[in-house]
Amino acid sequence: MFFFGWAKITHHAAPTYLCTMERQLSEQEQFRREALEALRATGMDPFPAAEVPVSHLAQDIKNDYPSKPEDFSEVCVAGRLMTKRIMGKASFASLMDSSGRIQIYLNRDEICPEEDKSIYNDVFKKHLDIGDFISIKGHVFITQTGEISVHAKELTLLSKSIRPLPVVKKDADGNTYDAFTDPELRYRQRYVDLVVNEGVKDIFVKRTKVFATMRSIFNRAGYLEVETPILQPIPGGAAARPFITHHNALDMPLYLRIANELYLKRLIVGGFDGVYEFAKDFRNEGMDRTHNPEFTVMEIYVAYKDYFWMMDMTEKMLEEIAETVTGSSEITVSGKVISLKAPYARVPILEAIKTHTGLDLLGKSEDEIRTAAKSIGIEVTAAMGSGKIIDEIFGEKCEKHYVQPTFITDYPLEMSPLCKRHRDDDRLTERFELFINGKEIANAYSELNDPIDQRARFEEQLKLSEKGDDEAMFIDQDFLRALEYGMPPTSGMGIGMDRLTMLLTDQSSIQEVLFFPQMRPEKAD
RNA sequence: GACUCGAUAGCUCAGCUGGUAGAGCAAUACACUUUUAAUGUAUGGGUCCUGGGUUCGAGCCCCAGUCGAGUCACCA
């Protein structure tokens, strides 16, 4: 069983948050449990099993009732009770379903036409709480104050909520009061965040639309969506510290993938013309506003193409995604208007450095590059080769200037061990990174398919790692074997899906676009 | 990892020079048949993040720690 295997390796006690300890109930929780028992005492099941005959969503009623009121004489809506306004024998409530909120009007004598008024007087007024799931059958009408509402004929409890939700209110001007804002609580209890904070759902709906749009663009082009191993014996395809785990039956270490590049290229060797994968990757590094230990990358490889083709494809794809998801190819990111309309500027990295620092590094030796970097205040260490230094200069002095989408191209050979040499200059590679709003969004190559050169590049990485670069790449012998059988000329691209989503939803923190961002364990409740 | 800020009622927050813990919303009770941040009256609700220390006395001061946010470092 999973648990025993895991316990054997770690020897850790179960984290405290997994322990089920008696928790002191708050006054409000006690009241809700009493209400639950009171409902049971009336013979009502607070958690009934039957299917709910929902006929309409709140938003559809609000959209369509004005033009076709005759279609709304009998509706059934279901969702959470979010407010109760009781005025004696009549009440208003708001019901929230997946589409939004709608007001419910309840009248005692219509809900309870018989002698027994307990459904209204006891169940609705006393025992129903904010957060309970209910269904309402009735007809749609417009109140005196002009709000489209459901006039209730029948009220059914669907599920009792025994823990109070934070109550967030809005006034007539749209100002929000008592918003549920503590980031720790919002991320740990995302379910609550989604229920009470307006706009949170929308970010995640957009996230899914980004994925769906990208997928449909690739499928339209005939590329194959594939799955490749997450547990890898050699964590290849990128330079990063991996998570390590252990397979008991094989008694061997396995790594959670840091990238899937080398597996997708094996599939190109195998004869697929275009393959792509939305991949969760894992990197055992620091966490901050733009880094989560697990994150999502889309990688695509297309045979017989080069990186120029990939730039064309990428800019058209991003334009279409922006239009589909946000309704416009112009987006606003932290107050800046960014146009994702193709084509994008294309700037070789050494030209970018020349523009922003005045340094001309083309054809310079490692020592000259090191000296030049120091001259503009870049810190360099002995472990850094010329590629890493150039990357450092670009990151420090240039990157931030590329707010509008820009392909930075033709990186030095040393920085790109999986990338084909540049057709015009063998010190450079056919690589681009796409920068938007000063941040890297995508990375692509004309893929290196010369197995002899690939082996030499891996060996170069090995030397770097001996020099102290703990992120240099591992050598994957099976990948080299695959290349030796022959890989067609291929272009590949990886795009950070979390960061793309951040861009398209104007969020500055990766935690806002991940349902469940990584957190330290919380204390026992 | 370093620094800064924060943690008080279900939620958002206030808390004076160290002297028995406060508000709004939410909750409970009553009233109220078209309200919408419903309203009115009354009431209850606290491990002041944890553990030490100083003090006659600590939410507040000191030390150590936990969790979170921000900045930096790290990071293809």
How many angstroms separate the CA of A125 from the C1' of B31? 14
State the DSSP H helix or E strand holding residue A454, giving kind and residue range, or none if neither: helix A451-466
- Specify whether the CB–CB gap between A138 and A75 falls below 8 A: yes
Distances (CA, A) of A118 to A49, A160, A171: 22, 18, 32
Residue nearest to nucleotide B46 (CA to C1'): A26
Residue nearest to nucleotide B38 (CA to C1'): A85
Q: Which nucleotides of strand B come closer than 7 angstroms to any CB of the protein?
A: 1, 6, 9-13, 24-39, 44-47, 49, 66-76
How many angstroms separate the CA of A299 from the C1' of B26? 48
CA–C1' nearest nucleotide, residue A185? B68
CA–C1' nearest nucleotide, residue A259? B76
How many angstroms separate the CA of A27 from the C1' of B56? 35
CA–C1' nearest nucleotide, residue A187? B68
CA–C1' nearest nucleotide, residue A196? B11
CA–C1' nearest nucleotide, residue A89? B33
How many angstroms separate the CA of A141 from the C1' of B29? 33
CA–C1' nearest nucleotide, residue A443? B76
Closest to A419 in 3D by CA, of A224, A215, A239: A239
pLDDT, block means (10 residues), chain A with 525 residues: 34 38 80 94 94 96 94 96 94 95 94 90 94 96 94 96 91 81 91 92 96 98 97 88 92 94 97 97 90 95 98 98 96 92 96 92 87 85 80 89 95 90 93 94 96 92 70 81 97 96 94 93 66
Residue nearest to nucleotide B49 (CA to C1'): A523
The two three-digit tokens of residue A391, written as one number = 């990357």
Q: Which amino acid is at A237?
A: G
CA–C1' nearest nucleotide, residue A290? B75
d(CA A210, CA A202) in angstroms, rounded, equals: 12
Beta bridge partners of residue A97, listed in sequence order = A100
How many angstroms separate the CA of A381 from the C1' of B41? 74
CA–C1' nearest nucleotide, residue A237? B76
Question: Which pTM does this prediction carry?
Answer: 0.91
CA angle A337, A339, A341 (to 5 degrees): 165
How many angstroms separate the CA of A512 from the C1' of B66? 24
Question: Sign of the C-alpha dihedral, residues A129, A131, A135, A136?
Answer: positive
In the sheet where A274-282 sits, what is the strand order?
Answer: A224-225, A274-282, A294-303, A490-496, A439-446, A431-436, A406-409, A345-348
Q: How much is the CA Rg of chain A, to the nearest whole Å?
A: 29
Residue nearest to nucleotide B30 (CA to C1'): A88
Q: Which amino acid is at A85?
A: R
Residue nearest to nucleotide B24 (CA to C1'): A178
How many angstroms separate the CA of A149 from the C1' of B38? 16
Report helix angle A200-220 to A307-326, nearest 10.
140
Closest to A104 in 3D by CA, of A53, A68, A156: A156
CA–C1' nearest nucleotide, residue A34? B28
Query: Quick one: pLDDT at residue A19?
Result: 39
A282 half-sphere exposure, CB direction, 13 A CA radius: 15
How many angstroms separate the CA of A384 from the C1' of B33? 79
The two three-digit tokens of residue A230, written as one number = 């997450």
How many angstroms separate the CA of A13 from the C1' of B60? 37
d(CA A165, CA A175) in angstroms, rounded, equals: 20
Query: Quick one: pLDDT at residue A115?
Result: 87
DSSP code at position A410: -
How many angstroms separate the CA of A305 from the C1' of B61? 69
How many angstroms separate the CA of A165 from the C1' of B17? 39
